[in-house]
Amino acid sequence: MSVFCYNKNEGKYENMGQITFNEELYRNLLQTSGFGKEFLWTDITGSTNDMAIELSSRNCAEGAVVVADRQLKSRGRMRREWLSPAGGLWFSIVLRPVVKDLRPLTLIFGASISDSIEEITGIPCRFHWPNDLYAGDCKLGGILMESRFLGNKPEYIVAGIGINLNFPATELGENLLTKPTTLLDLTGKETVREELLAEILLRLEQDYGEFLKNGAESLIEKYKNRCATLGRCVRIIRDRENVEDGVAVDLNYDGGLIVESSDGSRRTLYSVERLILLQKL
């Protein structure tokens, strides 16, 4: 159901997006065996990642999902502010993997989610290393994997996912780092949140199962064509004094991005402050 608010300045009603989650519809559409079965919806919260971390400490099932219509203190990578107006798909999943190297998981999840978005909306969507979802050269969403370990034992592992869905990108204001877009702007119509979430959870569950069983190799091979970064000139910003350009040539099976410099040398990146896509080759 869409909610309309009267905008006095414009003198007209504005669609504020779909802000009531239809749990019955979601449950009818959900085809997973575990992911999303334990489910919590809230109209407003600080951050769904914080709620998922809290759930995790209370021994919830793996794959438990928290969805919020709006978040007031949501965060992105490098603890950047993440705006979460009504109409977006903002959710977090509790994970309890037994494998030690979780680095490829963000990449696998990003590719898997971009597959689901394209399937449901028809909009070509790509994953941009390390954690962005892109449509063309605009940012459509992002993934924030958060974990804490006590020695070797994970205290929590949470995957937070934000997708700009049923609101115009103008609601996100000016963003100096990336140009945002939304599925409403791209398709001109509302996407059914419940349907997209059910589809995402199904694919994530399948890919996560494959990752736990056989590792990242075959998934990363399968998803290379979903990575918007590959084949592109990139600017790597480690910090203000440490900036260099190169070409993103490959993905490592441990989730790293292989970048070639102009002298032909190659290095594998695991963490950067920012990675900017430069002009197309």
The 3-class SS string of the chain reads CEEEEEECCCCEEEEEEECCCCHHHHHHHCCCCCCCCCEEEEEEECCHHHHHHHHHHCCCCCCCEEEEEEECCCECHHHCECCECCCCEEEEEEECCCCCCCCHHHHHHHHHHHHHHHHHHCCCCEEECCCEEEECCEEEEEEEEEEEEECCEEEEEEEEEEECCCCCHHHHCCCCCCCECCHHHHHCCCCCHHHHHHHHHHHHHHHHHHHHHHCCHHHHHHHHHHECCCCCEEEEEEECCEEEEEEEEEECCCCCEEEECCCCCEEEECCCCEEEECCCC
Q: Which of 3, 14, 38, 76 binds ligand BTN (CB under 6 A)?
A: 76
* Footprint (CB under 6 A) of ligand BTN, residues 86-125: 90-92
206 vs 209: CA distance, rounded Å: 5
Q: How far is the CB of 214 from ligand BTN (least distance, A)?
A: 27
Task: Choose one: 43-51, 53-61, 205-213, 218-226; the region binding ligand BTN (CB under 6 A).
Answer: 43-51
Q: How far is the CB of 274 from ligand BTN (least distance, A)?
A: 10
Overall size of the chain counted in residues: 281
Q: Which of 132, 171, 199, 205 binds ligand BTN (CB under 6 A)?
A: 132
Task: Choose one: 54-62, 68-76, 187-195, 244-252; the region binding ligand BTN (CB under 6 A).
Answer: 68-76
Tell me if 142 contacts ligand BTN by CB under 6 A: yes
Tell me if 166 contacts ligand BTN by CB under 6 A: no
Q: Which of 17, 130, 162, 256 binds ligand BTN (CB under 6 A)?
A: 162
Q: How far is the CB of 143 from ligand BTN (least distance, A)?
A: 6
Closest residue to ligand BTN, based on beta-carbon distance:
142
116 vs 32: CA distance, rounded Å: 14
Q: How far is the CB of 141 from ligand BTN (least distance, A)?
A: 7
Task: Choose one: 79-87, 187-195, 197-205, 207-215; the region binding ligand BTN (CB under 6 A).
Answer: 79-87
Q: How far is the CB of 173 from ligand BTN (least distance, A)?
A: 16
Computed over its alpha carbons, how large is the radius of gyration of the chain? 19
152 vs 86: CA distance, rounded Å: 38
Tell me if 49 contacts ligand BTN by CB under 6 A: yes
Q: Where are the alpha helices (DSSP H) in 58-182?
A: 104-121
Smaller CB distance to ligand BTN: residue 19 or 262?
Answer: 19
Q: Which of 56, 106, 131, 229 binds ligand BTN (CB under 6 A)?
A: 131
Smaller CB distance to ligand BTN: residue 173 or 188?
Answer: 173
Task: Choose one: 29-37, 76-84, 203-211, 232-240; the region binding ligand BTN (CB under 6 A).
Answer: 76-84
Footprint on this chain of ligand BTN (rule: CB under 6 A): 47-49, 71, 74-77, 80, 82, 84, 90-92, 131-132, 142-144, 160-162
